[in-house]
Amino acid sequence: MESALDYYTARALLEWQVELGVTEAILDTPLNRYEVPEAPKKPVAPVAPAAPMQTPVTPKVDPVREAVAALQGVKDLDGLRAAMAAFEHCELKRGARNLVFSDGNPAARVMIIGEAPGREEDREGKPFVGRAGQLLDRMLAAIDMGRDAPMSKDAVYITNVLPWRPPQNRDPKPEEIAMLKPFLERHVEIVAPDVIVLMGNISCQAVLERRGITRLRGNWQEAFGKPVMPMFHPAYLLRQPGAKREAWADLLSLKARLEADS
């Protein structure tokens, strides 16, 4: 679209504005003559994301494998006791007073395997010394046997599945039984009894991998290459005196087996 003013008219108007003192033309948008232009921004190199913090990975320890390794070269009871005392992978050790290893005659024909130490056993460092242990001694005396019998044929050797007392006498956990079973197996190898007596459910679980002492008791089994007799634990007999009849029958079966094999 052509302007409505011709060249000469437009120039005359502009000269007239200059004479009036006009120094700038009015723009479409305001112009700030004092504004400092921003310096061009430098391109920023992209920052690589930080690598996540790596948590050091602690190699997982297999307590069963460590137990087997600890038994390398162990050939006698002193070495076995030292290996058990040095075993650091069972938390029960940290809350127990003593390592409860064994009692009785290592040359005995009968090896009794109990479950775990109680309060009295933990205090004295010997198995079956509380009320249950006193009952066990009376039971053995009834068939002319005992831990203090002078002749090895009449003596017994006593140990437990676990050498340390579980807190509040709770049942041992399966992983605790598993990690300490290699020590029990070597214990049986060293003592080499003619017959093994398992006292209670935990002993049956550890040795026979079965529970249900009311079904197992009185029935001869085999483990570690030895004849095994499951029996009621004396602590159970203290709670259930009516079961002493079955316990007496099991003791007679034990005595008959020993006499037959002698």
- The whole-model pTM stands at 0.78
* Residue among 211, 194, 193 nearest 202 (CA): 211
Checking if the pLDDT of 219 tops 80, the result is: yes
In this prediction, residue 1 carries a pLDDT of: 47
**Least confident residue range of 4-8, 59-63, 174-178:** 4-8
* CATH homologous superfamily, domain 63-261: Uracil-DNA glycosylase-like domain (3.40.470.10)
3-class secondary structure, 197: strand
In this prediction, residue 7 carries a pLDDT of: 74
What is the residue extent of each domain of the chain?
63-261
In this prediction, residue 24 carries a pLDDT of: 66
In the numeric block, which tokens belong to residue 1? Answer: 């679209």
Task: Compute the residue count for the chain.
Answer: 262
Average pLDDT, the chain: 90
In this prediction, residue 2 carries a pLDDT of: 52
The beta strands (E) that lie in 44-194 are given as: 103-104, 110-114, 156-160
- Nearby residues of 173 by Cβ (< 8 Å), 6 or more positions away: none
Residue 180's Cβ-count burial label (10 Å; 0-12, 13-18, 19+) is buried
Checking if the pLDDT of 3 tops 60, the result is: no
In this prediction, residue 33 carries a pLDDT of: 63
Amino acid at 1: M
Residue 230's Cβ-count burial label (10 Å; 0-12, 13-18, 19+) is buried
Distance CA 13, CA 98 (A): 117
Report the pLDDT averaged over residues 197-201: 97
Burial letters 124-143, b for 16+ CB under 10 A, else e: bbbbbbbebbebbbebbeee
Give the phi and the psi of residue 250 in degrees, each rounded to 5: -70, -40
Distance CA 141, CA 76 (A): 29
In this prediction, residue 160 carries a pLDDT of: 98
Q: What tens digit of pLDDT does each residue of 20-52 get?
A: 766 666 666 666 666 666 766 777 667 667 667
Distance CA 114, CA 234 (A): 10
Q: What tens digit of pLDDT does each residue of 148-195 get?
A: 998 989 999 999 999 999 999 999 999 999 999 999 999 999 999 999
Give the phi and the psi of residue 253 in degrees, each rounded to 5: -65, -40
